[in-house]
Amino acid sequence: MIDNVDFIAKARAKAEGWLDAAYDAATRAAVQQMLRDEDPTGLVDAFYNDLEFGTGGLRGIMGVGTNRMNTYTVGAATQGFANYINRLHAGEARSVCIGYDCRHHSRDFAETAAGIFSANGIEVFLFEALRPTPEISFAIRQLGCKGGVIITASHNPKEYNGYKAYGDDGSQLVPPHDKNVIEEVKKVTVAGIRFERVAGRIHVLGADFDRVYLDRVKQLGLSPDAIRAAGDLKIVFTPLHGATFELVPASLRLWGFTGVHVVPGQGLPDGDFPTVASANPEEPAAFKMALDLARELDAELAMACDPDGDRIGISVKDDRGEWVLLDGNQANLIFIEYIIRRRRELGLLSGGEYVVKTIVTTELIKDIAERNGITCFDVYTGFKWIAAMIREQGPDKYIGGGEESFGFMPGAFTRDKDGVSSASLMAEIAAWCKTNGKSIYTFLKEIYAKYGFSRERMVYVVREGVSGAREIAAMMERFRYRSPRQINGSEVVLQKDYLTREAVEPLSGKRTPLDVTTSSDVLQFFLADGSKISVRPSGTEPKIKFYFEARAPMRGIDDFEQAREMADLRVEGMMTDIMRG
């Protein structure tokens, strides 16, 4: 029970403001009940803070209060975003696209946002039912919208929902627009939110638009002959109760796959996610039902998307026939090597092509690109930065881009990670591998044999509350200003500090500016043995994250186990040194 008198008094004062007639009767009744409760915990949790519209939008637990996702916090975010769109695009035709996932109240929040945009003179394209994030990103571009909103909390627990704001190119907002929208949202009062709805400005998107999107996804295909030869391979897919329950199976069928099996019990939307502890394809436990079905069917590929359909998890059989979950780095390696190889074989590489990865994603992607004469750009974590690079370099030469946290974007027609396109392309890779007498797992080993083995691991330290935030800041300061000169017996040959935007070579003292336009609180250490360590505080959770990458030589696929063992030992050694230091 919370007993801090000042804390409770501040929360109570904010809650009493929600008894104003500007709030609906149900909200006022809920607040009155909180104020009457002897235990103030619920009151404080709901009102001790304001749910801030950050650079990625809103995300929080659903419920009444300033620190919750509800009609009024969504309303303020939308009013501020509408004000910014109207100011930025004054005198132009203005429209937005709105989509949502399977979570509780997602449709309600989407309707709320649609009404507010329409009341502010902005045309709205609202999907008739839940749709995956990549389709909404595509729709913003396809329909020429000035922005968009996606109501989703990605793979957060069922109690959460969120609000992601997108710009006119289908990407989440980047500077200066993200900061400018935040400033507009801060100015909004409840009385200033235009909740009235102008029905004539709201247009519904349905199955006809799905076909436009899926036709564009199909254009990513590079091996139609392989699908014709092996399109009957058995594929298990689970949407984990989310928004891809129709579109991924539909896309796979459109590409020519006839053996698609959706996991029973997980194939329909459900915001309670009743069959999984976490609807996150990064978690092996989320694959249990899919792999049970895959074993029963003797399938060759199992895939899962998160609730809003931007992330994809991929499971394949290893050499012993055991199912293994590919990590995000491995999936990205397979995508990039396959696309480059097939484009080269088809005569589709003409020079100037590029790939994009985030700075915490494996350096092996850069090796693959450069060995093939292709540029690799490093960007900050988040697909909005991959989209920013596409804006800078142009979409025509884009090969693909991804990050270690189970996201890949194989086409520039969307500007966010795309689980629908990625699932379709991975199925094609499985068919191509089969027609070439190998498995996806063998293909991965061939990649390692060709470019060298790499092992990646991410760990994090949680520190809750104000004291935790200070401790995380102190840890970053220690790594920044008392940097290790040696880690796991290997010299630090390069340190990159994205906050100061400077690279330092400790042995020579040479300093070089980093080619980035904005700062980020990220540190990286590159070691003489080829290892890399990245350290950054989480932007959405009370965590500090450590990303470890170790390299090991391979002369051929028979060296795979030995290389993996060597890299694992290096990762363990680096973890021990960093956590101790």
Please give the positions annotated as active site.
Answer: 154
Q: d(Cα 369, Cα 357) in Å, to the nearest integer? A: 11
Q: d(Cα 373, Cα 386) in Å, to the nearest integer? A: 20
Please report where in the chains the tokens 């564009």 appear, as a residue.
216
Do 546 and 435 form a contact (C-beta atoms < 8 A)?
Answer: no
Do 158 and 105 form a contact (C-beta atoms < 8 A)?
Answer: no
Output the CA torsion sign for 87, 89, 95, 99: negative
Which residue type is seen at 153? A
Q: d(Cα 269, Cα 255) in Å, to the nearest integer? A: 24
- Within 498-538, strands assigned E span 502-505, 510-513, 523-527, 532-537
Q: In degrees rounded to 5, what are phi and psi of residue 398?
A: -70, 125
Output the CA torsion sign for 226, 228, 233, 239: positive
SS3 297: helix
Task: Find the length of the chain.
Answer: 581
Q: In degrees rounded to 5, what are phi and psi of residue 538?
A: -70, 145
SS3 53: coil
Q: Residue 506's closest CA among 521, 484, 487, 489?
A: 484
